[in-house]
Amino acid sequence: DIQMTQSPSSLSASVGDRVTITCRASQSITRSLNWYQQKPGQAPKPLIYAASSLQSGVPPRFSGSGSGTDFTLTIRNVQPEDFATYYCQQSFGTSWTFGQGTKVDIK
């Protein structure tokens, strides 16, 4: 199975900061990488699909990049509503897997 390693596991940021989260796959997954945001008590919400495509309705301060094994989620000008946990997820193989998650909280 393809393993996904996310880092960091948590980070603190101030409103207006730029935040970067990385995700590494154990083998090449081309661009089959998605990012989700989850807030407490809620189901995950898709943000980015196919490594860099913005889901409809998601603010453009969110962006994704990467291909192969290394991927990045960037949040520019972090807003109060962005404090949440973020997960990467690969959809390359027949079995999908998630990264461990990155909790973004207020500094």
- What is the binding site for another protein (CB under 8 A)? 1, 31-32, 34, 36, 38, 43-46, 49-50, 53, 55, 85, 87, 89, 91, 94-101
Contacts of 71 (CB under 8 A, 6+ apart): 22, 23, 24, 25, 33, 51, 64, 65, 88
Q: Kindly tell me which of 75 and 88 has the beta carbon lying closer to another protein.
A: 88
* Minimum CB distance to another protein, residue 96 (Å): 5
Place of tokens 């909280």: 105
* Minimum CB distance to another protein, residue 8 (Å): 14
